[in-house]
A and B are shown apart, each in its own frame.
Chain A
Amino acid sequence: MPPDPAPPPTPLLTMSRITKTFPGVRALDGVDLEVRPAEVHCLLGQNGAGKSTLIKVLAGAHHPDSGRITWAGETVTLKSPTAAMRLGIATIYQELDLVEGLSVAENVHLGHEPTTAGFLVRRRTARTTTAALLTRLGHPEIDPNRLVGTLSAAQQQIVSMARALSHDVRLIVMDEPSAALDPDEVDNLFRTVASLTADGVAVVYISHRLEEIRRIGDRVTVLKDGRAVAVGLPARSTPTRDIVALMTGRDVAYAFPDRPAPQDRPGTPALHVQGLCRTGEFEPLDLTVHPGEIVGLAGLVGSGRSEILETIYGARKPTAGQVAVDGRQLRAGSVRAAVRAGIGLAPEERKAQALLMLESVTRNVSVSTLSRFSRAGWLDRRAERIAAQQATREISLRPDNPDAHVRTLSGGNQQKAVLARWLLRGCKVLLLDEPTRGVDVGARAELYAVVRRLADEGLAVLLVSSEVPEVLGLADRVLVLREGRLVHTSPARELDEHRVLDLVMEGSPAP
Chain B
Amino acid sequence: MPKTPDSARSDTAARPGSTRRGLLFGGAAVSATALLAACTSNEPTKKDKTPATDNRPAADSAPGKKVTIGFAGPQADHGWLNAINENARNRAKKYADVTLDITEGSNDTAAQIGQIQTLINKKVDVLVILPTDGKALTQTGLAAMKAGIPVINLDRAFASPQASRCYVGGDNYGMGLNAGRYIGEKLKGKAGAKVVELAGIDSLELTRLRTQGFDDALKNYPNITKVARQAAEFTVESGQAKMAQLLQAQPQFDALWNHDDDQGVGALRAIAQAGRKDFLMVGGAGAKSAMDAIKADNSVLKATVLYPPTMSASAIDLARALGQGKGIGGIAELEIPASLTLYSAVVTRENVDDYLPTGFN
User: Touch between A and B in complex, CB under 8 Å?
Assistant: no
Question: B-contacting residues of A (Cβ < 8 Å)?
Answer: none
